[in-house]
Amino acid sequence: MSWLFGYNKTDHIPQMQSPSGPAGAEGAGGGAGGAADGGVEGKMRAYQFDSSALERAAKAAKDLEASKFAKDALDLSKLQETTKQMDLQKQMKEYESHLEQMKIEGKRVEYEEKRKMMAEETKQHQQRAQYQDQLSRRRYEDQLMQQQRTNEENLRKQEESVVKQEALRRKTLEQEMDMRAKSDMKRIEAEMKGKAILERENRDIYLEQIKLKAAEERVTVIESIKTAGQVIGTGFKEFISDWDRVSATAVGFTLIAGGIYSAKHGINIIGRTIESRIGKPSLVRDTSRLNFLDILKHPIHTSKRFYLSRRPEDALKGVILKPTLEERLRDVAIATKNTKKNKGLYRNILFYGPPGTGKTLFAKRLAQHSGMDYAILSGGDVTPMGREGVTAIHKTFNWANTSRRGLLLFVDEADAFLRKRSSEQMSEDLRATLNAFLYRTGEQSNKFMLVLASNTPEQFDWAINDRLDELVAFELPELEERQRLVRLYFDQFVLQPAAQGKRRLKLDKFDYNETCNKIAQLIDGLSGREISKLGVSWQASAYASHDGLLTEQMIMERVYDSIEQHKHKLEWQADEERTKRSGPLVPKSTSHAVI
């Protein structure tokens, strides 16, 4: 409104003021004008009265009242006032909220300070408690150390005292023994001197007594000889003079000698017959052939075994091999069964390959499938028999020839005694045993079928190779066979006992199929026997646990253990092979050096 009072001489129409208020605008305008005019003149102009300005203000008020925008100007002025009041209220609210926020921030800072102070107090308290605990422990340890040193000192003193007492006791005993020995020596010396004096004095008497005694014994012996000669001579004369008595005596001695000879050989013949019919040879470790002694000892078990041996079974039941090998073995089983039915000549077969690949198991299944009895021998039992080996071989083949159903004679570890006869390490007894074996297997038989098993067939004598009709190689299982073997033994040793619920074995939940596949991939190089032992170890792990629960982790731990053990076995085998190869070279170089 300064333009109404003449402060501002400009002719333009005043614009709308900002919400900050007209007073502020006027103060700002006046300040700006005073600053432009400068000094005291600008300051005193506010106290001067300008009548023309008042007239202009009155005229402007009249013009404004007469104007059609008077009401709008009033409303605008009211609106500006309302806006200003609202702005003031807003500022007050903002100021109050800022005060509240400051209070909250102060409380938060106060709480944070209190929390830090409490945390610091807690930390100090803990450190103080730890320090006190350390002090108490140190004091207790010092007490223990002091007590231990005291005990050790007391023990050392006691030991020294005991040592001193023992030394005094030994010294006393030694003195007593010395005194006793001296007294005994003196006593013995006195006794010996007395005896020597007596013997010297009574020497003539002793010699006379010995002479008299010898003369009496000589006379007695001569008289006895004369009397016996007279009696024997008289009896012999009477016996010779009676011809009937001489004839009867000769016939009696002849009959006695014949009876003794006949009884001796007859008993041997009867014993061999009974042994071949009732018992079994000493070389046979296991057989399905029944004998009278087994029936008397175990009638129920023998009857059950008799029933199972007569029941035909699949030749490959429980035997997992490569498909090509299974097909070949099935042909062998069919040929053997038809040979028995048609009473033909059996073929001799060699099973060779690493240990634990199913050679013995298939031989038993082959005998049961063909309706034959089986007998298992070990070549390691023949070697230590020495001279008795020849007799044992003949007894075994005689016993095999008495079989009515046909006998599958399985010789395991055959290379132990069927090695080359040209070998310098073979003894004469073992060479004779090999010759006896070759003699009994020179021709094929319709009574028994010979099956040999060996891990090193290259050591066989050439005559043994000539008696073999077919060679079958058993190799280590590959991935597919290992998967089948793992599932077979997992079902046999884990799933079936867990499903029965009678044993202390429970199985955790996991993917059995995936676990078996994983195990089959890990156990590359393990034989079928080692995989079966792995299944037994799973069962043992469940029995060893506190609750009988078998988990996947326990199974895998056993698998890794078996793999590590297999590696150690291979290392031992490699060391043994290196020793065998380097062994013969040392004597040769030594012999050259001696020459």
pLDDT for 52 equals 81
- CATH code, domain carrying 359: 3.40.50.300
Within this chain, do residues 426 and 381 fall inside the same structural domain, yes or no?
yes
Within this chain, do residues 381 and 501 fall inside the same structural domain, yes or no?
no
User: Distance (Å, rounded) from C-alpha 459 to C-alpha 585?
Assistant: 20
Within this chain, do residues 563 and 470 fall inside the same structural domain, yes or no?
no
Within this chain, do residues 305 and 420 fall inside the same structural domain, yes or no?
yes
Within this chain, do residues 304 and 330 fall inside the same structural domain, yes or no?
yes
- Tokens 């020793």 appear where? 579
Within this chain, do residues 355 and 439 fall inside the same structural domain, yes or no?
yes
pLDDT for 104 equals 92
Contact by Cβ (8 Å): 455, 360: no
pLDDT for 351 equals 93
**Which of 443, 475, 507 is the C-terminal boundary of a domain?**
475
DSSP string, 497-557: HHHH-SSS-EE--S-HHHHHHHHHHH-TT--HHHHHHHHHHHHHHHHHSSS-EE-HHHHHH
Within this chain, do residues 436 and 497 fall inside the same structural domain, yes or no?
no
Within this chain, do residues 368 and 436 fall inside the same structural domain, yes or no?
yes
Residue 428 placed within a domain: yes
Mention every residue, 6+ apart, whose C-beta is less than 8 A from residue 42: 33, 34, 35, 36
pLDDT for 201 equals 75
Residue 468 placed within a domain: yes
Residue 182 placed within a domain: no
Residue 19 placed within a domain: yes
Burial of 418 (0-12, 13-18, 19+ CB in 10 A): buried
User: Distance (Å, rounded) from C-alpha 63 to C-alpha 51?
Assistant: 18
Instruction: Find, among 115, 477, 439, 188, the residue nearest to 321 by Cα.
Output: 477
Phi, psi for residue 352 in degrees, rounded to 5: -130, 150
Structure-token pair, residue 225: 């000889």
Q: 514 to each of 204, 258, 527, 540, 554, how far by Cα in Å?
A: 110, 80, 21, 22, 15
**Which of 44, 67, 90 is the C-terminal boundary of a domain?**
67
pTM for this prediction? 0.51
Mention every residue, 6+ apart, whose C-beta is less than 8 A from residue 288: 305, 309, 364, 367, 368, 373, 374, 375
pLDDT for 309 equals 56
pLDDT for 565 equals 92
pLDDT for 590 equals 36
Residue 273 placed within a domain: no
Within this chain, do residues 458 and 488 fall inside the same structural domain, yes or no?
no
Instruction: Find, among 413, 431, 405, 460, the residue nearest to 283 by Cα.
Output: 413
Q: 311 to each of 26, 319, 336, 370, 477, how far by Cα in Å?
A: 129, 18, 16, 10, 29
Indicate the number of domains in the chain. 3
Within this chain, do residues 447 and 500 fall inside the same structural domain, yes or no?
no
User: Distance (Å, rounded) from C-alpha 194 to C-alpha 39?
Assistant: 169
pLDDT for 42 equals 52
Residue 527 placed within a domain: yes
Residue 86 placed within a domain: no
Domain range for 330 is 284-475
pLDDT for 318 equals 76
Structure-token pair, residue 453: 């098993």
**Which of 45, 67, 89 is the C-terminal boundary of a domain?**
67
Q: Per residue of the chain (595 residues), what is the pLDDT tens digit? A: 444 444 444 444 444 434 344 434 334 344 444 444 445 455 555 555 567 877 887 887 777 777 777 777 778 888 888 998 999 999 999 999 899 999 999 899 999 999 999 999 999 999 999 999 899 888 999 999 999 999 999 989 999 999 999 999 989 989 998 898 888 888 898 888 888 887 777 777 778 888 888 888 888 888 888 888 888 878 777 777 777 777 777 788 888 888 887 887 777 676 666 655 556 788 888 888 766 555 555 566 556 655 555 566 677 877 888 889 999 999 999 999 899 889 899 999 999 999 888 888 888 888 888 888 889 999 888 888 888 989 999 989 988 888 888 899 999 988 888 888 877 677 888 889 999 999 999 888 889 999 999 988 888 888 898 899 999 999 999 999 999 999 999 998 888 888 887 677 888 888 889 999 999 999 998 998 999 999 999 989 888 888 888 899 999 999 999 999 989 988 998 888 788 777 544 443 333 333 2
Contact by Cβ (8 Å): 503, 465: no
DSSP three-state, residue 377: strand
pLDDT for 302 equals 58
Residue 575 placed within a domain: yes
Within this chain, do residues 488 and 461 fall inside the same structural domain, yes or no?
no
User: Distance (Å, rounded) from C-alpha 443 to C-alpha 449?
Assistant: 11
Within this chain, do residues 464 and 541 fall inside the same structural domain, yes or no?
no
